[in-house]
Chain A
């Protein structure tokens, strides 16, 4: 013990100066994810690497804990602070528990942003949301309208009646409904994010509205169940199922034609944009309400009062790309 300790202290003091002097030329941006080995985050890393290649003088460190715990992420963050990275972009396992560790990082001059899953305001400079409620609300009705040039009846299959996310998106959708001429939203039903209930509610819609042309399901459970119900009722080609879903679960239904297209955020773009924003902040850009930060090919992000910003419209998946993304998430 004694020997180890004295060795630790003397050696530490001696080499500390050398370590400080050694400085890498590349800017180091750490992409910290909830846990390694998750397809969604591997895709985000792909985007981050793309951004690094484009920027040239950036090295992306892709890291994260083995399981989705806050304690594990803190250990990772501590080792990144020690490596004196220039920026940390984190998708957090816990909104609050990471704050002290990230504050320490910011105290030592590291630019900290959160993306995908956010950190409380005091623990980051800005948070990048994949999209925003108005953009999502607009996208889900646009997806239905794009395949209905002559207009027609459209129904909404939501999650539960109290689901905050879905209710906000549907409210935003109704705000912009006037922009899509001829689209008539006949009703909203609730499948409670249960596969069997969503399936039965869809059957009900098909029987009640014989002129139904499209079903919008802004929930990943609902959209799959609705597509299955439409397939089983032999209505492929007559009723188009769209909304928000996961490529891996929807690939089959896109192939069969039950769903012509659907949307969800693109993790590649998300990792790309987070890296670009981190780079912009390292370069001296300031994250404050109203500021616009650069995201390379994704344009710019404007920050709101909470220093949060929305990246883009949800990304549209159709027969041309769903197979590739189905392998990712």
Chain B
């Protein structure tokens, strides 16, 4: 601003000021909702505001949120990955099988991440290599991956994970901050930078807004998408390590139905289900909201089905509110 005399005319590069934009954004709406839920919970139950209880509560969402970050990128690019929960099951089964052979913790982690990557690669190759729609492919691999897990395990369970493996799902990094929560914060930063500060992130938005235009602008669409599916696979592998460690056992029904909870988290976070827009801070807030609602209602011993209804209503109202708000403003303007 000091050298304003150098440019006689100030041409704005955005339609609204930075402050106004932030104030009207989806994320600030979510922040208000999050604070309201936090205050509501604090008033409703004397047990909510306890560092250890809040720490326990984070386990309700950390694993799902890890996947949600990668899923947000996939959905922004106009695709979807419904096989993530099944990847958790398959990766967990592979780790459990390895335990029976006497494999130790570092190798178990490698196996978990490796199986996740391979599953992501299968999805990526089918979608970008053969050009199949991602929803069809991942519905297929959803059954395939969990089916493999069922073939190996049937109604049995793998147990006997080494003591040191328990740290990933039950250990604490520092004071009340669990390893999982620390990882969640770290991944939020990594994905935030990846989506909002890198060329790769811009390419993801470009593909989601107009794939053909992105292609003609020199964006390597297939490669970017392939990497996105690798990432969701890898994150599912990571979540599998955490969840398996937390449960200390593997059953083929592990993480059943999580794919929809992850997608719910992403959509609640303000990511357009049709692609093209959305932010990582939004997903972070959505994860916190879903975790707090589940925990807060749990403290009041509200039946789970009421929680589901509440999350559903929250989802619809948070999506509907901005649209209603815009309509109201337009009507007032006329």
Contact = CB atoms under 8 A, between A and B. Distances in A.
Chains A and B form a bound pair:
yes
B304 A66 contact: yes
Contacts, number: 129
B105 interface: no
Given A36-B303, A79-B298, A1 B47 contact: no
A99 B284 contact: no
B248 A83 contact: no
Main secondary structure of the interface of A (DSSP, over half): helix
A96 B46 contact: no
B103 to A, nearest CB: 19
A16 B51 contact: yes
Interface residues of B, number: 49
B139 interface: no
A133 interface: no
A100 B56 CA distance: 13
B50 to A, nearest CB: 5
A95 interface: yes
B47 A82 contact: yes
Contacts of A99: 248-249
Interface stretch (B108-116, B128-136, B217-225, B250-258): B250-258
A71 B286 CA distance: 20
Interface string B18-62: 000000000000010011001000100111111111101101100
A97 B299 CA distance: 22
Contact of B253 (A8, A69, A78): A69
B247 A15 contact: no
A100 B49 contact: no
Contact of B298 (A76, A84, A96): A76
Nearest to B166: A100
A100 B247 contact: yes
A20 B60 CA distance: 23
A97 B304 contact: no
B281 interface: yes
B284 to A, nearest CB: 7
B185 to A, nearest CB: 10
Given A78-B57, A99-B248, A84 B157 contact: no
Contacts of B60: 75, 78
Interface in B249-306: 249, 251, 253-257, 281, 284-285, 288, 294-295, 298-299, 301, 303-305
Given A13-B51, A65-B304, A97 B298 contact: no
Which of B48, B50, B251 has the most chain A CB atoms inside 10 A of its CB?
Answer: B50
A147 interface: no
B56 to A, nearest CB: 5
Residue among A81, A97, A120 with max Cβ neighbours from chain B (10 Å): A97
Contact of B246 (A61, A83, A84, A100): A100
Given A1-B284, A82-B56, A11 B49 contact: yes
A66 B303 contact: yes
Nearest to A83: B47
Contacts of A11: 42, 49
Contact of B301 (A18, A61, A94): A61
A100 B51 contact: no
B170 interface: yes
A83 B44 CA distance: 12
B56 A81 contact: yes
A194 interface: no
Interface in A10-67: 11-16, 18-20, 22, 36-37, 61, 63-67
A78 B38 contact: no
Contact of A82 (B53, B248, B307): B53
B50 A19 contact: yes
A303 B200 CA distance: 63
B46 to A, nearest CB: 5
Given A11-B42, A19-B50, A4 B304 contact: no
A4 B298 contact: no
B40 to A, nearest CB: 13
A97 B249 contact: yes
Contacts of A84: 47
Contacts of A4: 31, 34-35, 38, 288
A319 interface: no
Interface string A96-133: 11011000100000000000000010000000000000
B143 interface: no
Contacts of B53: 81-82
B256 A69 contact: yes
Nearest to B169: A100
Query: Which are the 8 A-B pairs with shortest beta-carbon distances?
Result: A79-B298, A66-B304, A96-B249, A82-B53, A15-B49, A97-B247, A78-B56, A19-B46
Given A78-B60, A82-B56, 14 more contacts: A7-B35, A8-B38, A9-B51, A19-B47, A22-B46, A66-B308, A67-B257, A69-B257, A74-B247, A79-B301, A82-B47, A82-B57, A94-B247, A120-B159
Interface of A: 1, 3-4, 7-9, 11-16, 18-20, 22, 36-37, 61, 63-67, 69-72, 74-76, 78-79, 81-84, 94-97, 99-100, 104, 120
30 contacts: A3-B31, A4-B288, A7-B38, A8-B38, A11-B49, A15-B42, A19-B47, A22-B46, A36-B303, A66-B304, A75-B60, A75-B295, A76-B298, A78-B59, A78-B60, A79-B298, A81-B56, A82-B299, A83-B301, A94-B247, A95-B157, A96-B157, A96-B159, A97-B157, A97-B249, A97-B251, A100-B166, A100-B169, A100-B247, A100-B248
